[in-house]
Structure 1
Amino acid sequence: MPPGIPFIVGNEAAERFSFYGMRAILMVFMTQYLLGSNGELATMSDEDAKFWMHIFVMAAYFTPVFGALLADWLLGKYRTILYLSVLYCLGHLALAVNETRLGLAVGLGLIAFGTGAIKPCVSAHVGDQFGKGNSHLLGKVFGWFYIAINLGSFLSSLLIPVLLDKYGSQVAFGVPGILMALATFLFWMGRNRFVHIPARGPEVFREAFTGEGLASLLRLTPLYLFVAVFWSLFDQSSSAWVLQAENMDRNVFGVELLSSQIQAANPFLILVMVPLFSYVVYPAIDKVFKLTPLRKVSIGMFITVTSFTVSALIEQAITAGGTPNISWQILAYVLLTAAEVMVSITCLEFSYTQSPNSMKSIVMSFYLLSVAFGNAITAFVNAVISNPDGTSKLEGALYYWFFTGLMLLAAVMFSIVASLYRGKEHIQESVSDPEAEAEGTAFNG
């Protein structure tokens, strides 16, 4: 195992704790805790809060392209991650000290740029630690990388809502900020263990828009457009599903859960499903037919359709006056998480292997634009369906059925486009001693 991997994985776990902890309470904060400039409550409507949430997530996944260019053109991945992590910490600070819309806008803006800009660099930095000799470990390491993400997410999704409920928003937003500072420190500690791929300067722009660089982007873009619809549905687990949980019986084994805590089901299930799929499900399917990366994604997208079908049925029951038990939403999470394993992890690895060696961060950022586009779809739909009186043109289950149909259409179209895809794999020839790397010498001491 490359020596830098533990530092990257530890950094990712702490950083994801900070991000998902903050995100777990965002809907509840905006609809129940937000203050006006006079210090009085000035909360948002459900539709406004969903719009803000998805605009924030869209921004967080749009900015990766800037981070990728900064890394590949000027700073290299290590410096880009380190410097922008500091900006990220300042965003958490803004949320913790200012509970108004101003603090919300400044904090979310800084966090969106910080987390977004480092995101493609971290994923590509993982891949950079591998060469031809150990590239067979890449898929499993990306799996463990994803486990680190979800371990941090699981713990924070349980803890931070409790802190908000018991101690208020300043403490609840402050703790994720502390974890982000820890993540930055862990990453700095690994500076002499990493393989450092130097920035390529202006050459990166020529490579991105000519030859194999341009060809790889053109091949991948149609796939990413349909994957965006998956993210449009998936990220509603932190918005629409939280609001739905408010109207459900959240008693689990005698414990009343907070609506924002239900999100912890996703990272917990990831921790179970990643090894289950890697060692049981995928080998079993491979015995029936060859399970290529794009086939994994196709299957995952169809599974997503079933998860939102469950959500639509839950909403129908609520509209009819019932109070369904939260176990039904857990079922939707099981299906959605299975889809995530097949779509998200696969796309991370696939994007890395399909990009030229000098363009790993840029191609990763283009993949992450699919998440931004997916959240833009959700934000746009919520803006269009919102009536002036706060009601919605897609009331109740109609909202969920709309997205279910959209996902079904995207899954069918993706399967067709994927069957026509002809790619080219790019893996580094070798990995040299980290301390012998030219860029790495700048970080000794």
Structure 2
Amino acid sequence: MQTVPAQTEQPLSAESTSHPKGLSVLFTTEMWERFSFYGMRAIMKLYMVKALLFSEADSSNLYGSYLGLVYLTPLLGGYVADRYWGNRRSIMIGGLMMALAQFVLFASASAYQNVGFSHMAFYTGLALLIFGNGFFKPNISSMVGNLYPARDRRIDVAYTIFYMGINVGATFAPIICGYFGDTGRPADFKWGFLLAGIGMLLGTATFEFLKGRFVVTPEGGPLGAKPERLPAQSAADAAVSNRKNLMLVALFAGVFALLYFLVLDQKIIDSLIYSAMVVVPIAVLADKSLTPVERRKINVVLIIGFFVIFFWAAFEQAGNSLTTFADKQTDRQLGSFLVPASFFQTINPFGIILFAPVFAVLWTWLSKRGWEPSSPLKMAYGLALLAVGYLIIAFGVKDVTATTKVSMFWLTAMYLVHTFGELCLSPIGLALVNKLAPARVASLMMAVWFLAIATGNKFSGTLGALYPEPGKPAPHFAGFEITGLYEFFMVFVVLCGATAFLLLLIYRKLTKMMEDEPATGVTPMLEQA
């Protein structure tokens, strides 16, 4: 789960200590949206393999493509909201699209034995989710800070509260959707998608019915309304604007069709995401107006983005190969209850809720004593912890046959260590982007950050496809043959360990390049996944 920082702390008058009621509305809306997102994610891989009968490699690649595109479309959604629709309309349209998507997936799972229809409906549902998320996600996140006056110190706490709502939704989603959908019977997957759709409708309805009364600016005006035309705009200008809106609708239809067919062609998705990760940084650095100091700080963000790719490529195995491992090679019997494989995905968000305050206190305690690690060093710790987590599970499966099931301890311990790694890297990294990006290219630098996450998610599908399957040819990676689970998990140990070591080698140089980065203070977190 990725995170974004709040604004700079400023003095606040004694009478302004409570939070706007609009925060509760946004908290609830986002909680249900995350319930929907993570509920679907918990059973997506299992549905592809068990009901649609996708191969392990095909399902892994499609999973990575879906997540990669989910992090590309917010760039479009944010642009449209700023120029045309405003936050409110964008959130409503995105929410309704995602609800519809879950019901389309419900239809796919209801007729999973009808190969033609179930596959078509599944791809359509994914495209709707990708597009809907692009409108919903960036706009609701930005509205939290806009509830408060500029530089109001309550914003820090507000983002932390909002962040907790996200993880509440993410915690219960795998349990509820997994309990009804991940039963071992392919016909039951539809109930998980149905519940995810109902959750999305509840979130959208909450926002729609309460936004007018509570989601308002500090002055009491509507927050996130459609951008206003200039008073001097003529009728002719208005007609031109209407034509532009029609063209925009046509563009959306075209982009939706493109996304639909992109989902079907993995090579096109690879080219789209990986080329964007190269082109956008070049476009940023091509700005000749950048000062040497600004260029140096941007280079730090670009270098950090490289390491972020490997972090999310390994971390996002949670809904991919690790769900397969939980299903096939984990002893999930707990007394008379067989724990659904999807349940394990709740460990991370629950761990975030428990340990985020602990890490906040830890960084503050270290800061007061002058011992707080720099941001690049914290991120190196995050990558190292990811490697340790995979080393734990690699040890658990060493010399284990393909038919042997291992204790739940190994998977649980790995997820817990990965949660610690996330807390070291995700909030720190995005806070770093906000602090270092020059104001005039701040949006573009945020695009680079999301592109790094998109690339990492896409790469996670490529790596997940290496999962060894009994009776099938052993996959190869970088010249090495992966004959079993031990070798598979060691791929992630080596990748994360090597990148952590490389970051440790250069973190002092990066810290110096950052120049005036503040060494104290803890930035609250807002998940964007």
TM-score, structure 2 as length reference = 0.69
State yes or no: 1:190 paired with 2:214. no
Deviates more, 1:103-112 or 1:397-406: 397-406
Q: Which amino acid aligns with 2:73?
A: T
**What are the superposed Cα offsets for residues 222-250 of structure 1, whole Å, 9 maximum, x if unpaired?**
21221121111111011111111121112
- Cα pair 2:468 2:488 within 8 Å, conserved: no
- Cα pair 1:124 1:352 within 8 Å, conserved: no
- The structure 1 residue matched to 2:497, chosen from 408, 416, 419, is 408
Deviates more, 1:311-320 or 1:207-216: 207-216
For 2:95 and 2:147, the matched residues in 1 are separated by 21
With over 3 angstroms needed to count, the CA separation of the structure-2 counterparts of 1:209 and 1:158, relative to structure 1, is farther
With over 3 angstroms needed to count, the CA separation of the structure-2 counterparts of 1:152 and 1:114, relative to structure 1, is same
Deviation at 1:267, TM superposition (A): 1.4
With over 3 angstroms needed to count, the CA separation of the structure-2 counterparts of 1:13 and 1:207, relative to structure 1, is same
- The structure 2 residue matched to 1:422, chosen from 508, 514, 518, is 514
Deviates more, 1:305-314 or 1:22-31: 305-314
- The structure 2 residue matched to 1:45, chosen from 38, 48, 55, is 55
With over 3 angstroms needed to count, the CA separation of the structure-2 counterparts of 1:71 and 1:296, relative to structure 1, is farther
Deviates more, 1:262-271 or 1:12-21: 262-271
- The structure 1 residue matched to 2:371, chosen from 283, 289, 300, is 289
| SS of alignment partner, residue 44 of structure 1 | coil
For 1:24 and 1:369, the matched residues in 2 are separated by 23
Q: Which amino acid aligns with 1:75?
A: W
Structure 2: segments with no counterpart, 5+ residues: 1-17, 110-117, 218-222, 230-282, 477-481, 519-529
State yes or no: 1:314 paired with 2:396. yes
Aligned to 2:197: 177
With over 3 angstroms needed to count, the CA separation of the structure-2 counterparts of 1:124 and 1:138, relative to structure 1, is same
Aligned to 1:271: 353
Deviates more, 1:408-417 or 1:259-268: 408-417
State yes or no: 1:397 paired with 2:486. yes
For 1:350 and 1:253, the matched residues in 2 are separated by 46
Q: Which amino acid aligns with 1:232?
A: A
- Cα pair 1:59 1:116 within 8 Å, conserved: no
Aligned to 2:121: 103
Deviation at 1:72, TM superposition (A): 3.2
For 1:7 and 1:354, the matched residues in 2 are separated by 32
Aligned to 2:89: 79
Deviates more, 1:215-224 or 1:403-412: 215-224
Structure 1: segments with no counterpart, 5+ residues: 35-42, 427-445
Number of equivalences? 413
State yes or no: 1:236 paired with 2:328. no
> Over aligned residues, Cα RMSD in angstroms?
3.4
- Cα pair 1:249 1:326 within 8 Å, conserved: yes
With over 3 angstroms needed to count, the CA separation of the structure-2 counterparts of 1:148 and 1:390, relative to structure 1, is farther
State yes or no: 1:17 paired with 2:35. yes
Aligned to 2:415: 333
For 1:335 and 1:411, the matched residues in 2 are separated by 15
**Residue pairs, 1:16-35, within 5 angstroms:** 16-34=34-52
**What are the superposed Cα offsets for residues 71-90 of structure 1, whole Å, 9 maximum, x if unpaired?**
33433333322222222222
Deviates more, 1:140-149 or 1:49-58: 140-149
Of the two, which has the highest radius of gyration?
2
Q: Percent identity?
A: 23
Q: Which amino acid aligns with 1:419?
A: T
For 2:84 and 2:299, the matched residues in 1 are separated by 24
Deviation at 1:335, TM superposition (A): 0.4
Deviation at 1:384, TM superposition (A): 7.5
| SS of alignment partner, residue 98 of structure 1 | helix
For 2:381 and 2:138, the matched residues in 1 are separated by 25
Deviation at 1:28, TM superposition (A): 1.1
For 1:139 and 1:295, the matched residues in 2 are separated by 23
Aligned to 2:159: 142
Q: Which amino acid aligns with 1:309?
A: L
For 1:243 and 1:51, the matched residues in 2 are separated by 14
**Residue pairs, 1:120-139, within 5 angstroms:** 120-131=138-149, 133-135=151-153, 137-139=154-156
For 1:57 and 1:45, the matched residues in 2 are separated by 18
Deviation at 1:121, TM superposition (A): 2.9
Aligned to 1:305: 387
With over 3 angstroms needed to count, the CA separation of the structure-2 counterparts of 1:207 and 1:128, relative to structure 1, is farther
- The structure 2 residue matched to 1:259, chosen from 334, 337, 341, is 341
- Cα pair 2:34 2:166 within 8 Å, conserved: yes
For 1:360 and 1:118, the matched residues in 2 are separated by 20
For 1:292 and 1:199, the matched residues in 2 are separated by 40
Aligned to 2:76: 66
With over 3 angstroms needed to count, the CA separation of the structure-2 counterparts of 1:399 and 1:207, relative to structure 1, is closer
For 1:101 and 1:162, the matched residues in 2 are separated by 24
**What are the superposed Cα offsets for residues 96-134 of structure 1, whole Å, 9 maximum, x if unpaired?**
112321111111111022224432333333333445542
Deviation at 1:51, TM superposition (A): 1.5
State yes or no: 1:220 paired with 2:230. no
For 1:78 and 1:294, the matched residues in 2 are separated by 36
For 1:208 and 1:194, the matched residues in 2 are separated by 38
